[in-house]
Amino acid sequence: MMSIVNTNDVTVIEEQYQLATYKKMPVVAERGEGVWIYTNEGERYLDLYGGHAVAGTGHCHPHVVKAIRDQTEKILFYSNLVYSDIRARAAEKLISIAPQPLTKAFFCNSGTEANENAMRMARMATGRENIITFSGGFHGRTADAISATFLGKYREIGKPNVPGHLEAEFGDIESVRALADDSVAAIMLEPIQSMAGVKMAEPSFYRELRELCDERGVVLIYDEVQTGVGRTGEWFFAGSDAGDGVVPDIISLAKALGSGVPVGACLVTEKIASHIKENDLGTTFGGGMMAMAAVVGTLEAIEDDGMLANVREVESYLRERLREVEQVVSVQGRGFLLGLEFADKAKPVHEALLERKVITGTSSDANVLRLLPPLCLQKSEVDLFVDALAQSVSHAG
């Protein structure tokens, strides 16, 4: 029998009792405020990663906390078998910020579940089975979503994969054209491939995808699990100039949507919705009141604080300041989904930053460091980051 650890050291206890997931940083997060994480030893870390891009409104935004707290005093949960004031408000708010013609929301619990349902809806709407996704894209870890993921080891982890997944080259419309026959229900993409190292295509690529889908009766799905809810400095990548104004038939969302309360969603057109009947889709927790309160609080906080404009302004400032760090050879992405490319490996820089109490992310491109900070990041905090980065690159090399 395993021995029971007798210690107050939470790192030892977690290692003993929790299955391995990610490689953890030596940080015990006790409290969060805005872009800062405070440890149990009273140290603070500048958080430019947001716990996998979740802390969009920052940690413990007072408006989000209040929305959740107020809801706890009413009802914690009931499923979609009943109507709910807070669910009605969440759906209405989400659709009010969605680009036209997305008019209906489906709520679930995570990004992978949103993508599973997006693919299922596309199959229901077209009566076809195959899904085209892209090399470098990441869509989640449940069976269908991991089979749609053509990035590194992930598809392997999901063996045996679900049939009906085809791989095209991101940014190469001819590779998509060659696959998009009448067996194809949907083309799904991360409009900015985050895990792959923050890769974007030319605006014309998104336009050509839209035209191809219209021509061949294929559903276009944007996985905006990372790019959605304000991260690019606009509510969604869909409809933005970076994507030539293209709006897909379905957007999937999660991560920042609930500021840390698990929630996912699909936003769909009236046309897609017309193919979905009662009992086709479902999930126990989707649309639960706690999650809906978090969605309403999150969207209101972003709006009330003018966070979209903040993202755009602080992004420009950050890009400007990064010019001072000559080891950064390019800055990819948009808004607060940025990839800093180095001539050499990014991991030592990531580690040196952590020693200086700055949390960043790596990616599957070994030379790219990822920044996914809260949308409330200020210029003064950018200054702290750039100073720490300048010291880190000189020590990391």
Ligand X SMILES: Cc1ncc(COP(=O)(O)O)c(C=O)c1O
- Which residues form the interface with ligand X (CB under 6 A)? 52, 110-112, 115, 138-140, 190, 194, 223, 225-226, 254
CB of 274 to ligand X, least distance (A): 26
Q: Which is nearer to ligand X, 58 or 136 (CB)?
A: 136
> In the complex with ligand X, which residue's Cβ is closer, 223 or 341?
223
CB nearer ligand X, residue 226 or residue 392: 226
Closest CA to 221 of 295, 140, 116: 116
| Structure tokens, 230 | 């304000």
Closest separation between CB of residue 337 and ligand X, Å?
Answer: 10
Closest by Cα among 46, 43, 52, 51 to 34 = 46
Give the nearer residue to ligand X in terms of CB position, either 108 or 389.
108
Q: How far is the CB of 130 from ligand X (least distance, A)?
A: 20
Residue 351 Cβ vs ligand X, minimum distance, rounded to whole Å = 22
Q: Which residues lie closer than 8 Å to 337 by C-beta, 6 or more apart?
A: 53, 192, 194, 198, 226, 227, 231, 232, 370, 371, 372
- Measured at CB, which residue is nearest to ligand X? 111
User: How far apart are the C-alpha atoms of 220 and 250, rounded to whole Å?
Assistant: 7
Q: Which is nearer to ligand X, 121 or 388 (CB)?
A: 121
CB of 76 to ligand X, least distance (A): 21
Rank residues 94 and 225 by Cβ distance to ligand X and give the closer one. 225
Beta bridge partners of residue 253, listed in sequence order: 265
CA atoms of 230 and 245, how far apart (whole Å): 16
Q: Output the six-digit token pair for 202.
A: 């030319």
- For ligand X, the closer CB: 112 or 126: 112
Smallest separation, CB 281 to ligand X (Å): 17
Q: Under a CB-based contact definition with an 8 Å cutoff, are residues 375 and 58 in contact?
A: yes
Q: How far is the CB of 255 from ligand X (least distance, A)?
A: 6
CB of 118 to ligand X, least distance (A): 10
Closer to ligand X by Cβ: residue 112 or 130: 112
* Residue among 308, 98, 320 at smallest CA distance from 222: 98
- 91 Cα distance to chain centroid: 19
